[in-house]
Amino acid sequence: MQPVLSLSGITKFYGPVRALNNISFSVPQGSVFGVLGPNGSGKTTLLSIILDVLKANNGNFLWFGQPGSPDQRKRIGSLLETPNFYHYLSAVDNLKVTQSISGRGDAAGIDRVLKKVKLYDRRKSRFKTYSLGMKQRLAIASTLLGDPKVLVLDEPTNGLDPVGIAEIRSLIIELCHSGHTIIMASHLLDEVEKVCTHAAILKSGELVTTGEVNEILQDEDVVELSAVDLNLLAGIIEPIGNRVNIDKEANTIQLCLPKGTAKLDEINSFCFNKGIVLNHLLLKKKRLETRFFELTND
């Protein structure tokens, strides 16, 4: 299946500063693709380039297998910063203003996008009466005018409280399930882990890694296990793994093995044959936060 977006060798300078260096990756159709990185890593610069807000010094990108064009741009909804909605206007009237500026969609489209973001019942309420989460949902509604196939969102949960973050997280998942491909930059790693299917991690303008989130998380297999005597268990299993970590608070041991080699039934049999009966055995995933810091810290 043809990627929605393909980047090849994207490089961007700001004077002597190289903001992006030879960035290449592809975004699959139907994915929620996270662009991750510390502040100053080049996330917003990258999104600005693929939206033709900035020009790259070198490299190129293709939308739907073709160079960018005005027609293709209509298939992409974007939110690089929160729109300047009028506080005294309703959601409907604000979207009418957005629609007149962008030329996207029609009157029926406004009702459709408000239903998608679950603001239809509040469509006549003034913008100033909305919560932060509702304001951000209206901003996302503005990107949906004209029914674009791809949404590009820069920090869509930035500044929101936990309730607002949960609302946007659920909305992004629903939009993906309804056929949209979503490209989002974020530093909220826990949220990205919950919604993204794929990701690219940037550091100082360099691409550190890219791929499916599950693949990025797993640079090795981590098996969590426990028995009555943790110290005895640790001594027995230590020779079969890369390393063993004892968590006395949780009363568990983490056994780290080369990626793709953990076989729980064999570990259980090995321990049993050594006289140890396991009361807990689980193949764990690393948290994205843990893996992110492993990849981006020197």
Collect the ranges in the chain with pLDDT lower than 70. 70, 105, 107, 217-219, 285-298
Domains of the chain with bracketed CATH: 5-216 (3.40.50.300), 218-296 (3.30.70)
pTM over 0.85: no
Q: Tell me: the pLDDT tens digits for 187-209?
A: 777 777 789 999 998 988 999 88
Q: Tell me: the pLDDT tens digits for 51-66?
A: 988 999 999 999 998 8
State the virtual CA torsion across 198, 203, 204, 206 in degrees, nearest 10. Answer: -60
* Cα–Cα separations (whole angstroms), residue 232 to 235, 254, 289: 5, 14, 31
Comparing CA positions, the residue from 264, 200, 171 lying closest to residue 22 is 200
Q: Tell me: the pLDDT tens digits for 288-297?
A: 656 666 666 6
